[in-house]
Structure 1
Amino acid sequence: MQNEKVFNECIRQALDLGKSEVISYMAKEVFKKYKESEEFRTYLKWKYIEGDQANESCFTQFRLLGRGGFGEVYAYQEHLTGTLYACKKIDKKRMKKKNAEHTILIEKEVLERVNSRFVVTLYYAYQSKKELNLIMTLLSGGDLKFHIYEVDRKNKGVSPERCKIYSAQITMAMEHLHSENILYRDMKPENVLLDSRGNCRVADLGLACILQENEKTSGKAGTLGYMPPEMLNNSEYAYGVDWFAVGCTIYEMCEGRGPFIVRDKSKRKIDKDLTAEKTKNDDVAYKREHKAELLHLIGALLAKDVNERLAEDLPSARPIMDHPYFEEINWERLEAGLIEPPFIPSDDEVYAKNASNIKLPSDAEGIKLTDEDAKLYEEFSTGRNPAPWQEEIISCGVYDEIMELYKSGACPKFVVKDEGSKSKFCTIL
């Protein structure tokens, strides 16, 4: 036994020495030659282009998509590639009025960390005179709440086939977020949007927080009706709060109503006290017939005690993925985007209520912006998000065009769309 330990230690030291020698040789010899190569100059040129500051001149603004608590969301087209995005415009004064600076920075930080086909992607972050701008994936298929309640008002909910695929995709989204130590805390149908192919993407990560290993947090966050008992009881919690909300969302898709939401006599507003009590004390009830596997999954996700809940407070979704309800799901093909969704949004339909009828409150009058605010805006304005932007350039096939136009002289700082050109590229000023 002693000889084996000595042998293993000798092997480890030999490998460490070999690794050190290889790194030293690469640094002194190989990298020196690489810095003198055309490939290295091309790399530096690309990083220069990538770091060029994004601003309003890089985009064309199209129609209004929606309104939120801090501003409006518009469809934007990027000039270099012609790609359409959603621009979330955050009014600086309204953000300051609501003391939401930390929330916005956290959302941006979280978006920069994630890379999943089931979570919205951040491509650009920059500021204009009055707003902070997040340029993200354009999701034209509408949110899940609209599909549950507005598409067929006489038969609310979605089909069993759609429910299963959406549930699997939402599970994959949570799996990715949790693998990055991100606790979502705002899982609900309204925050799940469909892309043009009918796939789900989780959005609106403003309430997310980043946990350290084995860490828990506290405090109420999210939407009543989706908060689990441990959060309502002001106990510490971790990833189990997201799995509870996933259970609420699956229930809502198959039943066409929330499992715990109680409305007041007018049926317009949620009765907060009764909804909280029902969440903490009542079992879920069903008005429709469902398969036993689905009922068991929902029940396991909605367990009042997090230690009895499926996946508990674990960051891994494996216990959920292994549930019999998902027996037919090939998770590798799903993650690769190789499973065709049962519903594909029509290009001729608008899957949203009329956003122009939603008025923003003018509650930011008299708010003054300071030098400290300006520093925060500079921290926010990081321009292009490297990995998604690189994927965009490659997928749009304009890499060679860009490198050719930037070949001679200093890289220009502004581009405008060439109205006379059929290309999706742009003219350099």
Structure 2
Amino acid sequence: MAEANMLDPVSVCADLVRFDTTNRGNGDSEGERDAAEYVAGLLTDAGLSPEIYESAPGRANVVARVAGSDPALPPLLVQGHLDVVPADAADWSVPPFSGEVRDGFLWGRGATDMKDFCAMVLSVVDTFAREGRRPRRDVVLAFVADEEDRGEYGAHWLVERHPSLFDGCAAAISESGGYTYHVPAADGRIVRIYPVGAAERGTAHLRLTARGRAGHGSRRNHENAVVRLVAALHRIATHQWPVHLTPAVRAFIEQTGKALDVEVDLSDVDGTLARLGPAASLVESTVRNSTTPTMLDAGYKVNVIPSVAQAQVDTRTLPGTEAELLATVDELLGPDVTREFVAHQGPVQAPVDSPWFDAMGAALRSQDPGAVVVPYCLGGGTDAKAFAKLGIDCYGFAPLWLPQGFHYRAMAHGVDERVPVEGLHFGTRVLDHLFSHC
């Protein structure tokens, strides 16, 4: 495939970055409609018939279908979001919405999360149209709004209001996987690990409420709501959740250990992770559930004991563990503190031993024959939680070549977010292979 004949993924990514699609949450966003119209225009130029679906004024989603050469095969869903988190220009080395190319990198908010993937997909679709090629199976494209909040105007809205758009889709690919992770082996080799997301922890954000007796701050009070809340938070924050290995995490540990030539002992997961070195950072947050206090709200005056104190806890659950976790949380809270959900979405899990995963591995190895492709579990969440409700196996696969020493995981939502130019070309070739052969 001649890259000179392609719609340049770097230029497309730069264009997308220049659309300020900041999502501040709670319905406060901008620019999504403009970005969606740009995407729809490129898809139209490629001979497709995209449709824009607005969930609210300005909250736009683009969906299109690329016909495959074998209509008997179930379609593949390729989904990415067009919104980004806020960026304070005063903190950046370059204006965050400039799309500037400098020192071999394209800089800007969304460069890795996830306008790079959207640009690569658009480039591949354009190339197929220019060369008169088709993917092996139908590919459903969805470029959505609102992923950086709760997806209520984007993926979740589409799934609830327009599920027929995704009829027949058996698998989906999107962000957070398929990138180069350079790891030193015990013998000094540098092993190129490519983690592919095959699971996500669930989200069970909790609001805790402690109630007590209001009173003067100078007097003894054994029913102090703040004291009750702080004690409950301490018990939750210091609780050691047990190891629970999902198939994705188990496979990651076993396969990565083999590639690095280190001993794997699943009866001592913490010891094994220590031997995996830097690779452990990819799974250390997903061998257990987590309950992390993040917000506090109590009182209005220093000499007044309030009758109510509240906190929020970022709770993440592995597949098959939520009921047990919540029962333990209730025990830790005690009788004077109650809980309620602020946000609640279940975990996601896709097969790690499947033709889809094999096809993604083959696509990566077509461009990097030394790639070690392993599954892993995302500690956070993506729009996969919406599409999984339709019975679609969702994978984190947004292929990207990264140079050694590049701190990719610090880019998303970080200052000076940027993506290597060569990485975009690499990922575009990988996606071309996947669409052609899977």
TM-score range (shorter-chain normalised) is: under 0.3
TM-score normalised over the length of structure 2:
0.26
Say which structure is richer in strand: 2
Bigger share in helix: 1
